[in-house]
Structure 1
Amino acid sequence: MSDLLYVDLLIEGRNFVLNSGNEPVLCNNSQSIGQDIVHSILESGLATDLIAERSPTMRGDIFTQLELLIESDERIEPGTVVINEESKTRLWITANTWDFGPLSVRAEL
């Protein structure tokens, strides 16, 4: 599966990654999917809700919303999303993609 199905600009720490010639670095396939997942979480506002929420029940509800959000991506196999909280501002997300197998990505909230 060396075909480039998804190509995007690489973003780390909310900034474009530039090479030595100050040109944007590209990412593709599973790295691009992982990057899209992180951006969808940040743009949804659920990350802010999760940081602000103290109730375990309500936090569980937000995690469910996050799973549903990630599973709504047509490139992700439904039922394979697992979200682990490393800290109050860091999530570790694993899922299976249809075309590229397992995917792991860290989201800094």
Structure 2
Amino acid sequence: MVEPQYQDLLIVGNDIALDAVGVPMGISDRPSIAQDIKHMIRESGLLVELVGERQADKWSLNLSRLENLVESDTRIQPGTAKITRVESETVLVSAKTVEYQHIEFTL
């Protein structure tokens, strides 16, 4: 079996996920990258700025900033990050990783 390149603890609901016996669960490689990107976006504060925002130009500007933020991660292929508004308070994040192809999640 190939040794994972990226490893992390699985975070669910802002807390470390535990298995049935209480041991922290881990994730590796592609899911680990997606989780790191998700946390980077949340910590940037750019999503908070969009809550209640009705001006399309401000939404567009912040989505572009978020795409640039995602692409700043060296594990993401430049020019592949795409962030789209799915619902009034939900955005879809997709990008291609250098080693593991496509990642996609919603925030």
Measured in 1, the distance between the counterparts of 2:80 and 2:2 equals: 23
Tell which has more relative contact order, 1 or 2 (C-alpha 8 A, sep 6+). 1
| 8 Å CA contact 2:63, 2:84 repeated in 1 | no
Measured in 2, the distance between the counterparts of 1:9 and 1:69 equals: 22
SS of residue matched to 1:73: coil
- Mark the runs of 5 or more structure 2 residues left unpaired by the alignment: none
Aligned-CA RMSD value? 1.5
Measured in 1, the distance between the counterparts of 2:96 and 2:2 equals: 18
Could you tell me the TM-score, scaled by structure 2's length? 0.92
Could you tell me the TM-score, scaled by structure 1's length? 0.90
Measured in 2, the distance between the counterparts of 1:104 and 1:41 equals: 13
Give the match for residue 63 of structure 1: 63
Q: State percent identity of aligned pairs.
A: 35
Give the number of equivalent residue pairs. Answer: 107
Query: Which segments of structure 1 move beyond 6 Å, counting only runs of 4 or more?
Result: none
SS of residue matched to 2:76: coil
Measured in 2, the distance between the counterparts of 1:25 and 1:39 equals: 17
Give the match for residue 37 of structure 2: 37
Cα-to-partner distance string for 1:67-97 (whole Å, 9 max, x where unaligned): 0000000000011111122223322211100
